[in-house]
Amino acid sequence: MRLAVIAGDGIGPEVIGEALQVLDVVVDGVETTEYDLGARRYHATGELLTDADLASIREHDAILLGAIGDPSVPSGVLERGLLLTMRFALDHHVNLRPSVRYPNVAVPLAGDPSIDFVVVREGTEGPYTGNGGAIRTGTPHEVATEVSLNTRFGVERVVRYAFERAQVRRKKLTLVHKTNVLAFAGSLWQRTVDEVGRGYPDVATDYCHVDAATIHMVTDPGRFDVIVTDNLFGDIITDIAAAVSGGIGLAASGNIDATGTNPSMFEPVHGSAPDIAGQDKADPTAAILSGALLLRHLGDTAAAERVEMAVAADLAERTGPVSTTETGARIRARL
Ligand code: IPM
Ligand code: MN
């Protein structure tokens, strides 16, 4: 298993260190190439992601990424120049973000809801493409546009992926959008779900406006099985999803090229958390669970399940905050 490792900024190296050690326990022969990408390299060389970096990263089976972003660099430079550039260049059209409430994990919701849904967020289109512009900047007549790009090809492939997921789960697919206002893109998404759905007659489909979806996620998260949505709505609702299912410290994700042409990239949903970086405080569980998603993606379901069970057991016995290294050590001890 040849892994490209991008530890990145802030808490990235700390959580990725633990995740890699976990992978080493459950898989024989993990070979890693570490890439120095992020704020340090940017300050030292002005480089974000070179063609040579990208060509070399492509030679791997998968990518494990920690976090990108640092307060010493203007907001967005590293995020766009590195993270989004990789998602686009490697055609990571599926951004897979599962939300599972593990036993004994407290959640900030009334009742004692069980939560087990997965958001299939489109990863290469929507308002993320940089397809906009500004004129008359700095004048009272400044105009800025940010165009949401939605192609039939791009929507169809992510919708199809979501149906495939739903079929092997509880067979329910919810489209989340804002079709009452975003009529053009909304129509494309709704028609695509309807048409692709004809090929999956046993999957029930429904629709939810994104604003209402945020309410349901807080009041009745058990109603969701698979959610399919665009890049920006998916970004927003997966932060809520993480918050309601145990916190951002547990939320894992995969940026997937479902065609298998390019290596897929697995990363915790959380950011670089500079406020706690270097203090052995960050929860490495999201990075470790991202490692489990990576294993499952590469076909090692047994190893993925072992990691997830060890994490579940660790969470069940947690009574208070545990350090980064201690959490990793406890999970490895269970394995
Ligand atoms: C995420 C992040 C990124 C996104 C940022 C850092 C560009 O918030 O992975 O959810 O918006 O996709
Ligand atoms: Mn986000």
% the chain with pLDDT above 70: 100
The CA distance from 307 to 334, in Å, is 9
Supply the DSSP symbol for 148.
P
Terminal Cα-to-Cα distance of the chain (whole angstroms): 19
| Own/partner pairs, 79-85, CB within 8 angstroms, 24+ separation | 80/130, 81/42, 81/48, 81/49, 82/8, 82/37, 82/38, 82/48, 82/49, 84/128, 85/48, 85/49
SS3 of residue 211 by DSSP? helix
Over the chain (335 residues), the average pLDDT of each successive run of 10 is 98 98 97 98 98 98 97 96 97 98 92 95 97 98 98 98 98 98 98 98 98 97 98 97 96 98 97 97 98 98 98 95 97 97
What's the pLDDT score for residue 94? Answer: 98
Question: 256 C-alpha to center of ligand 2: Å?
Answer: 16
Q: Hunting for tokens 């206002």 — which residue is that?
A: 181
- Token duo for residue 216: 């349901």
What's the pLDDT score for residue 101? Answer: 95
What's the pLDDT score for residue 202? Answer: 98
What's the pLDDT score for residue 45? Answer: 98
Question: 298 C-alpha to center of ligand 2: Å?
Answer: 24
Q: Which of 75, 84, 86, 231, when mutated, tests ligand 1's pocket best, judged by the most ligand atoms within 8 Å of its CB?
A: 84
Domains of the chain: 1-92+258-335 (3.40.718.10), 107-245 (3.40.718.10)
- Token duo for residue 320: 């208070």
CA angle 87/90/92 to nearest 5° reads 55
This prediction has a pTM of 0.97
Supply the DSSP symbol for 93.
-
What's the pLDDT score for residue 167? Answer: 98
Q: Using a 6 Å CB cutoff, which residues line ligand 1?
A: 79, 83-84, 235, 269
Contacts of 298 (CB under 8 A, 6+ apart): 1, 61, 62
128 is catalytic: yes
- Token duo for residue 101: 């409430």
What's the pLDDT score for residue 279? Answer: 98
- CB-CB neighbours of 261 under 10 Å: 9
Tell me which residue of 83, 49, 86 sits closest to 67, measured CA to CA.
Answer: 83
- Token duo for residue 110: 């009334």
Which neighbouring-strand residues pair with 177?
Answer: 209
Q: Hunting for tokens 């951002």 — which residue is that?
A: 248
Catalytic residue chosen out of the listed positions 128, 230, 300, 314:
128
Angle between helices 12-26 and 301-317 (to 10 degrees): 120
What's the pLDDT score for residue 15? Answer: 98
- Mean per-residue pLDDT of the chain: 97
Produce one character per residue of 143-182: b if its CB has 16 or more CB atoms within 10 Å, e if not.
eeeeebbbeeebbbbbbbbbbebbeeeeebbbbbbbbeeb
